[in-house]
């Protein structure tokens, strides 16, 4: 028997990285999985791999998210697990960031989590036992220069998750995960640079860059009965990196060759 036998789950950002690894782990543990992603082909590929269903959706579009969640719940016969994981990154100082870029990041990384959870709540309540995990970040706890929009969004996810746990317990348990430096397409520009990668490893007590499976395992634990008394928490999954401060401290200066307040 698997940890998630009989459960029906949706995973946003499920076509790659942490989302894909979590879809695979959920399926191995017995859950039926709906794979949601703006990358429709990628979502279909993962869904075929895990015998799940795929829906193409932009999580920044509230109406589209509602339709996608309802579709998956209908096709799976209900919904008991939500992993609100979709996100994007950027790097710009506050004074250099455009309003459009701010809205792009926050609309996906924060609004997208809200839209996903909001759409899922009726299905989770109808199920009588809902489990939600949202992807925050160590940047929401220990931000670095250039991360204002991303850090603000991820800190917002932590607050939203705590509110969900307060408002809908005991029927719905809700927790967040805050990954550290994980090797995904999003972090490729960092982990593929040997200077940065060596620096990241040196400041991580676990002695390596994280893999998507490292986070997927924690997410699976949180939505399983093993975490039945855990709710409203933000679980940091960073190999100890933030014991030394911000995860990407100094990266802005490395890429731009200056501090944010200096003249370009």
Active-site annotation, residues: 150
Three-state DSSP class for residue 241: helix
Q: Which helix (H) or strand (E) holds 177?
A: strand 172-179
Q: Are 121 and 172 in contact (CB under 8 A)?
A: yes
Nearest to 18 by CA among 3, 41, 40, 37: 37
Query: Distance of alpha carbon 21 from its chain centroid, rounded?
Result: 12
Q: CB within 8 A of 8, min separation 6: which ones?
A: 31, 32, 34, 73, 76, 77, 78, 79, 80, 81
Residues near 187 by beta carbon (within 8 Å), at least 6 away in sequence: 89, 181
Q: Between helices 112-127 and 62-76, what is the axis angle to 10°?
A: 30
Q: What is the 3-state secondary structure (H, E, C) of 240-259?
A: CHHHHCCCCCCHHHHHHCCC
Q: Which residues contact 169 (CB under 8 A, 6 or more apart)?
A: 231, 232
CA distance 21 to 25: 6
> What number of other Cβ atoms are within 10 A of residue 159's Cβ?
14
């Amino acid at each position: 028997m698997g940890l998630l036998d009989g459960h029906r789950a949706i995973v946003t950002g499920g076509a790659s990285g942490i989302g894909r690894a979590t879809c695979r782990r959920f399926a191995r543990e017995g859950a039926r999985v709906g794979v949601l992603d703006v990358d429709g082909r990628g979502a279909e590929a993962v869904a075929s791999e895990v015998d799940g269903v795929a829906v193409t959706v932009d999580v920044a579009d509230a109406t589209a998210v509602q339709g996608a969640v309802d579709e998956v719940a209908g096709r799976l016969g209900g919904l008991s697990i939500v992993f609100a994981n979709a996100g994007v990154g950027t790097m710009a100082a506050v004074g250099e960031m455009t309003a459009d870029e701010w809205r792009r990041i926050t609309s996906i990384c924060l609004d997208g989590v809200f839209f996903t959870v909001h759409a899922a709540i009726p299905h989770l309540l109808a199920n009588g036992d809902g489990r939600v995990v949202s992807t925050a970040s160590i940047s929401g706890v220990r931000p670095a220069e250039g991360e204002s929009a991303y850090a603000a969004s991820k800190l917002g996810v932590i607050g939203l998750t705590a509110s969900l746990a307060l408002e809908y317990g005991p029927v719905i348990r809700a927790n967040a995960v805050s990954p550290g430096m994980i090797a995904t397409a999003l972090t490729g520009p960092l982990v593929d640079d040997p200077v940065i990668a060596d620096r990241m490893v040196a400041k991580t007590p676990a002695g390596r860059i994280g893999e998507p499976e490292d986070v997927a395992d924690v997410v699976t634990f949180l939505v399983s009965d093993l975490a039945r008394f855990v709710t409203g928490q933000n679980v940091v999954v960073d190999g100890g990196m933030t014991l030394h401060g911000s995860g990407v401290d100094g990266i802005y200066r490395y890429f731009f060759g200056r501090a944010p307040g200096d003249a370009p």
